[in-house]
Amino acid sequence: MEKEKVLFICTHNSARSQMAEGLLRFLASDRFDVYSAGTESTFVKPFAIEAMQKKGIDIRNQTSDVIDKYMEMDFDYVITVCDHARETCPYFPTTHQQLHWGFEDPSDAKGDDAFVLSEFCRVRDLIEDKIRSYFQIG
């Protein structure tokens, strides 16, 4: 059976889309080939890496890619995870379902490192809940 392809998109491909990619790959790599990209390419935020490590998921080797890299690929799902990406994301004509799941940007959190990390973990958990619910993962 061929795996379904999923692309998560966020503006900078540095936190929410990276965590979504890592979560779905960890939870259901037997069912999905998972990618993430941004309308701009930057780097994976250290707090995103640390929040995922707390769940036992290593995303240190994931890279921040720009959407253009994936425009010629066929996807079963293209999912924007931030409002700005939803507004600026190009249309993927070969996509079966183009969805929007808006999550707050944990990078906007202000405070000490412990508070900022807790915000990344909170958003990570919201993303995981949405992934589990939508893709019916136990």
Task: Report the catalytic residues.
Answer: 10, 82, 89
Exposed/middle/buried for 133, CB within 10 Å: 0-12, 13-18, 19+?
exposed
CA 28, 128, 21, 57 torsion-angle sign: negative
CA 67 – CA 5 distance, rounded (Å):
15
Put the strands of the sheet holding 32-38 in their side by side order: 32-38, 4-10, 77-80, 97-100
Residues facing 73 on adjacent strands: none
